[in-house]
Amino acid sequence: MPSTRDLRRRIKSVKNTAQITKAMQLVAAAKMKKAQDQATQGRPYADLMNKVLVSLKEQAGENTHPFFSPGKGEKTLVVVVTSDKGLCGALNTNLLRKLTQTDFGADVEYVTIGRKGAGSLARLKKNLSADFPIKDPARFLELRTVGKFLQDRFLTGEYCRLLVAFNNFVNTVTIIPSIEQLLPINTVTLGGKRSYEGMGAGEVEDASTGPVLEYTFEPSTGEVFATILPQYVNNTLYQMVLEARASEHSSRMVAMKNATDNAKQMLKDLSLEYNKLRQAAITNELLEITTAKMALE
Amino acid sequence: MAFRLEIVTPEGRAFSDEVNDVVLPGGLGEMDVLPSHSNLVSTLVPGELRYKAKDGSTHELAIGSGFAEIQGDHVNVLTDLAISDAQIDEQAVEAALSRAQERLKDSENLGAENVAAMEAAIANSLAQLKLKRKRRTL
């Protein structure tokens, strides 16, 4: 039986924990909003790129760039985007489970973005070839570096395809671990809407349905393609990382909300017990006084 | 006669206004775009973009690689970086540059991913520095 003093101590500590988790919840909510805004701001860029890509596709024929055809090698390169920090529910676990359940063929290499994924894959003794620390909020320039690295790898011809595993943010309660192909680029969907664009899908213009505009391409269609495609890949990667970041923060927000709720419930139970104990002590004392008085009479 | 110049980067719309004239660092050399240009898509190399605002003043921006789309009375510039010269801190850029080059020197000890990062950083810093330097000599 705990004493009232023990109980008071516990109540105090639970109260503190609830305060911390509440604060973390608010911070995560603000960060999630920021990641979403960031994704929205990339929209004019994506729109313009799609518009030009569609017109390019018409004029240049499709298989003019190495990014369109699978590499000669057998290997698969998988980019795993996870969070750097924990306390975000089953987010990373779900993604890694999906990863281990998917069959990528015999020869797989991994590149990680985020500390959690790097740690887990290293523990699983997977073939980890590079790890990129990306700050939060993610900057495009940082991801361009990752994009360049991945494209260089792909162009060596060792890999037949390049996949990205990330958490797709649909809304705060629905986060879907997804694996999307980054390279080779799918010519059919090029310039169209992307399937993972959870954050405000439908707002990115689907340029593949509009009228195709005629342009003069300078220096040549081939060279314009060679400039645009790496940027297209980088931007796609950037958007995926933003999705993953939004997922992380929303997942953390939900986890922290649950923690706060649990702490509140615990506080309620503990105070009830504390009050009961206090009342019992008072009753006992009264009883003792009364018996003592009666004994004297 | 004026036309609309828009500069978009993955992180947002960096610039959007009516201008009278814009000079772009095109893949085939500098390119001056005036109103009523024919429809054109051109690659851009990292360098400086100059435009003449409606009030006649000239402004400069450092941009990264990308492309420009000219269509009707719109010029859209798509690039991964756009910084106006007021935003450039020359000393910070120089420090970044020397740091990157220093690290690139012993690139044998670095992984491929670090080398790629360094090369990109150097190209960006150089473009910014060039713009700032040029501005001063005027």
**pLDDT greater than 70 at residue A62:** no
Q: Express as a percent the part of chain B with pLDDT over 90.
A: 2
Whole-structure pTM over 0.95, yes or no?
Answer: no
Domain ranges for chain B: 3-84, 88-133
Select from B41, B44, B93, B124 the residue whose CB has the most chain A CBs within 10 Å, as the one to mutate to test that interface. B41
* Residue B115 or residue A283, greater confidence: A283
Q: What is the DSSP letter of B22?
A: E
Q: What is the pLDDT of residue A23?
A: 95
- Measured between beta carbons, the chain A residues lying within 8 angstroms of B10 are 42, 45, 140, 234-235, 238
Shortest Cα distance from B39 to chain A (angstroms)?
A: 5
Contact flag B116-A149 (C-beta cutoff 8 Å): yes
Superfamily of domain covering A41-189+216-253? ATP synthase, F1 complex, gamma subunit (3.40.1380.10)
3 state SS of B36: coil
For residues B46 and B64, the answer to whether their CB atoms sit within 8 Å is yes
- Measured between beta carbons, the chain B residues lying within 8 angstroms of A38 are 11
Chain B residue with minimum CA distance to A224: B43
- A7 part of contact set with chain B, CB < 8 Å: no
Shortest Cα distance from A263 to chain B (angstroms)?
A: 39
Contact flag A42-B11 (C-beta cutoff 8 Å): yes
Using alpha carbons, select from B138, B31, B18, B135 the residue that is nearest to residue B83.
B135
Lowest mean pLDDT, pick from A100-114, A164-178, B83-97: B83-97
The mean pLDDT value for A232-252 works out to 89
- Measured between beta carbons, the chain B residues lying within 8 angstroms of A52 are 41, 67, 69, 78
Select from A51, A110, A149 the residue whose CB has the most chain B CBs within 10 Å, as the one to mutate to test that interface. A149
Q: Which residues contact B72 (CB under 8 A, 6 or more apart)?
A: B39
- Measured between beta carbons, the chain A residues lying within 8 angstroms of B76 are 48
Select from A38, A40, A48 the residue whose CB has the most chain B CBs within 10 Å, as the one to mutate to test that interface. A48
pLDDT in tens, B21-77: 899 988 888 889 888 888 888 998 888 888 888 888 888 888 888 889 888 888 999
The dihedral of CA A95, A151, B43, B58: what is its sign?
positive
3 state SS of A182: strand
Alpha-helical (H) ranges within A88-135 are 91-101, 115-123
Whether domain B3-84 has CATH 2.40.100.10: the reply is no
Select from A53, A55, A215, A240 the residue whose CB has the most chain B CBs within 10 Å, as the one to mutate to test that interface. A215
Among partner residues A130, A141, A234, which is closest to B111 by beta-carbon distance? A130
Q: Which residues contact B92 (CB under 8 A, 6 or more apart)?
A: none
Contact flag B41-A224 (C-beta cutoff 8 Å): yes
- Distances in Å between the alpha carbon of A73 and those of A70, A106, A155, A183, A255? 9, 12, 11, 13, 42
3 state SS of B31: strand
Contact flag B78-A148 (C-beta cutoff 8 Å): no
Beta bridge partners of A217: B41
- Measured between beta carbons, the chain B residues lying within 8 angstroms of A228 are 67
Q: What is the pLDDT of residue A73?
A: 81
Shortest Cα distance from B120 to chain A (angstroms)?
A: 7
Contact flag B8-A130 (C-beta cutoff 8 Å): no
Q: Express as a percent the part of chain A with pLDDT over 90.
A: 32
Shortest Cα distance from A228 to chain B (angstroms)?
A: 7
How big is the CA angle at A46 (ends A44 and A52), to the nearest 5 degrees?
Answer: 100
Contact flag B69-A45 (C-beta cutoff 8 Å): no
pLDDT in tens, A103-142: 887 788 899 998 888 888 888 888 888 888 888 788 887 8
- Measured between beta carbons, the chain B residues lying within 8 angstroms of A146 are 113
Shortest Cα distance from A140 to chain B (angstroms)?
A: 7
Tell whether ipTM is more than 0.95: no
**pLDDT greater than 50 at residue A201:** no
